[in-house]
Structure 1
Amino acid sequence: MSSLPTSLFRRWGHSFEEDAPGATAYRPADYAFPRARGRGGIEFRPDGAFIEWAIGRGDAAQPIQGRWTDEGNGRLRILFDGDVHPAQTLEVLEVNDSILRLKQRRA
């Protein structure tokens, strides 16, 4: 059982307009984002599934499947299926129903 807040478990769009040094910002996928040429995102599911929504052809979102595990202290280990991306560790800096801020840690 994870001690992570339930607000984490949803699809998030990258709110790059709100990124700050050392912190990547995300908003719920249904947020009224400013117009942009493609917008990636991520998704955490309670069962441990993780999806990176990469910007694909024609700016359409392309799912990249993976898994997350809770390493404690707000850190999540992400492993992708196959050799699509190297493993990564994300630190949850802030999460609630309206925003998710993450810091990427060295794997």
Structure 2
Amino acid sequence: MYMSTDTLAVIGSGIGGLLTLGIAMFAGFAWVIRRMDAMEHRLIVRMDSGDQRLDEKIDAVEHKLSQKIDAVDQRLSQKIDAVDQRLSRKLDALEHEFTEVKIAVARIEGPRPRLIVER
């Protein structure tokens, strides 16, 4: 079978063009993948630094809140103790007055009657 050099040149240039197009597409795809990997790495680093800053801020807020809660708890305990002492004093005074009332009522009523009467 006889082929002219022009036909062989056209076939060769077609194969070369397809081969060049395939290599260019592969290189372009590899470049896009490499860029996406670099962007993903930058995004991960940025997110990690943001996450670290957020953790630090949360820890600072948590520490301040803990201090405030402790201060409120301490003041509340002091107030509760003061109220407890006042109520205890009032209860003791009320108990003393109640005992005096019982004694006064017992004096008014006189001695209790006995079941067996003396002869």
Q: Considering the TM-score relative to the shorter chain, is it more than 0.5?
A: no
Question: If the TM-score is normalised by the length of the shorter chain, which range does it land in?
Answer: under 0.3
Larger RCO, structures 1/2 (Cα 8 Å, 6+ apart): 1
User: Higher helix fraction: Structure 1 or Structure 2?
Assistant: 2
TM-score by length of structure 1 reads 0.13
Tell me which structure has the larger Cα radius of gyration.
2
